[in-house]
Amino acid sequence: MDKIHDVAVLVGSLRKDSINCKVANALAEVAPDDMKLSVVEIGQLPIYNQDGDEHPDVEWTAFRDRIRAADAVLFVTPEHNRSVPAALKNALDVGSRCPMARAHGAGSRARSSPHRRALSADSAPTTICGSRSSF
């Protein structure tokens, strides 16, 4: 049997009756047999603060380990004020600031354009805690 691809799904909405969570779960149900989609909870992550990098919270470490282990990361998210929800932005900060993270390609440069465009404008792969994915 071929390798089963592990896809970590980050859902931007934290609402208990979130449409985005329902979409993520539906995608997991219809995924091909060689792909396993699993939602990675982000609501419990403490707000990112660079001061915590030296001694990261347990939640940061668990999140980073899970993302690092994934073959890909899928974002299922609503738009909030022309950007991504705060919880997803925090997860991106936590995941991309880990000691092993390295950015690849044009998508890694700093941007001053709107957040959603910054997160999705380039198709160049980006590394989040060792898991290479495309926005």
Name the pLDDT band for 28 (thresholds 50, 70, 90). very high
Single-letter code of the amino acid located at 16: K
Per-residue pLDDT at 6 = 97
Its pTM surpasses 0.85 = no
What are the pLDDT digits (tens) for 48-105? 999 998 899 999 999 999 999 999 999 999 988 888 999 999 999 999 886 644 444 4
- Residue of higher predicted confidence among 29 and 132: 29
Domains and CATH numbers, the chain: 5-133 (3.40.50.360)
Residue 26's nearest CA partner among 79, 67, 18 is 18
Q: How far is CA 32 from CA 28, 52, 58, 108, 118, in A?
A: 9, 39, 33, 30, 30
Q: Lowest-pLDDT range, 15-24, 54-63, 89-98, 126-135?
A: 126-135
- Residue of higher predicted confidence among 6 and 108: 6
